[in-house]
Every structure is written in structure tokens, then in C-alpha cells.
Chain A
Amino acid sequence: MFRAQDTDALVAALLDSCCEQVLETMFFSPVLDHAAPEESNGKDRIHTQLRFHGKPSGAFEVDADFPVARSMAACFLGLDESEVSPAQIEDVLAEFSNMTCGSALSSLGRVEYFHLDTPSTTRSSGFTPAIEGVRRGFQMEAGTLGVCLRVDFEQE
């Protein structure tokens, strides 16, 4: 039988490995270290949130210093950072959300099926968490990147 802390530890480990794999394989951006996204308070941030439905359902969010998101978009699209538009940055961060959430859910083991909603993206000043869940933070070259996953197994 799973205990809540076992599930949280498993989700945390999955988020670490999935984020690193997605960032390195598809964004050519290495994770330098773990980081606390709260340290980015007061900075220009971009935030993406999505819900997923199925067995189980839940929510996922990504928040990043804007320079991190711009750098990720440039690497993903093969462009110079100065050539990347705000719409492309939102599109790419949404793709990162989809890939990381889907990859973590596919690896979780207790997931039968899921459907990801279209992510919504907003800009903010500082770290503005919107969901409660397992949160991980990463230090990237251009700033910090945070992810949070909530899995509602009890709603199965």
C-alpha cells in the first residue's frame, strides 16, 4: 500500500529526472543545480498551468524567470534570443509543460490513462504558485525554473 510521503518522494524523483531529460534532449539546456523558485521574487516571471483528466486527474504548472523561458524558446526553435517573439516564448513554454507533465505521468506507474488540457500562460512579477503539489526548482544558466505536479489519486 502506498503512503502519501512515498508517492510524494516518487513524484519528486520523477520530476527531477523528467525535467532534466526534457531540457537536455529537446531544449539543449542543462540543469546546473537545484534551486528555490521563491528566490526569484520581484523578477519578471512567466507561468504556465494545465490540468489533466483521466485515471488519475490533477494539475501541473511551470514558472520561470523570463530570461530562462526566452533562452529555452531560442534553443528549441534554433533561433537567436533576439529573434524570439513573446508568442513563441509562450508556445514553447506550453510545449515544455506538456512534455514534462506527460513524461512524468507516463513514468509514474499507477497511471492508466490521461488527457492533457491546453496550457494557459501568464506573466507575473515574482514567484506566484497557483497549485498545491510536489514542487521542484532548477537553476538554469539564465535564472530559475520551477515545476509543480499535483496528482489526485483519491479522485479515481
Chain B
Amino acid sequence: MALKVLIVDDSPAMRNFVRRVMQLSGMDVERYFEAANGAEALDIAAATPLDAVLTDINMPVMDGEEFVRRWRETADGKSTPVIVISTDATAHRIHNMLALGASGYLQKPFGPEQLRNELERVLGAPHV
């Protein structure tokens, strides 16, 4: 099954990098959606069925914590995997994001293999 993936990051360069790494990973992606903050991501998620969300934490307007918390309160957001991508790998931050409802956590720097492994872990099946 080809995936519909939402990438949430305020940096256009980082969104571009994540898309490239997804392509290099060999994951079968049907379409990428992009949002520059949590508020934009909630709008896209409300209008589009998604298979996975990859989100940054530090963003203007609405950060990743607020986005995950709010999206998990919606019907669609309860079951769709969310992977947090962040430089912050302190136990405090990881615990907080997982408690809010994140399905996985990927620390920068990362490459195609790490991203694919984490996506397949939260999706529960290979999507190559």
C-alpha cells in the first residue's frame, strides 16, 4: 500500500530533506503533504486521510506538542502514527511527546535506514 505522509516543520529546507530521505529509503509513498506548523498540519489532517505524520517540535504558531495533543483528540488522529523528528533526545522531551500520544521518536541526525525502520515499526508492516 502506497502511503500518504504529512511532513510538519517550519523549515522548508528540513521538509525538503525529509522528503528526499523518504525517497532514498525506498518507502512506497503515494503523496507528500507539507505544513509549516501545527495549525497548518491540523487543517491538512482534517481534510485528508493520512497514513503517517512526521513532525518537528519547535515551530511558530503551534508547536509539535500542541499539535500532537490536539490531533489525538480528533477521530482520525487517534489511530494515525505520528513520529516526532527532533534534535532533542533528552529523556524529559521523549517521555513528554510519547505521553502526549506520539507513536515514535527519531533524533536528528538520521538517515534513510533509521527513518524507514521507525516508520515500519509504527506502521507495523514493510512499505517498500
Contacts and interface: CB of A to CB of B under 8 A. Distances in A.
A26 B90 contact: no
A78 interface: yes
Contacts of B58: 98, 115-116
Contacts of A94: 11
B90 A22 contact: no
B49 interface: no
Contacts of B92: 112-113
Q: How large is the interface on B (under 10, 10 to 19, 20 to 34, 35 or more residues)?
A: 20 to 34
Interface string A91-108: 110110011011101110
A103 B17 CA distance: 18
Contacts of B88: 102, 105-106, 114, 116
Interface stretch (B32-40, B71-79, B104-112, B117-125): B104-112
Nearest to B10: A118
B86 interface: yes
A76 interface: yes
Interface of A: 21-22, 25-26, 73, 76-78, 88, 91-92, 94-95, 98-99, 101-103, 105-107, 111-116
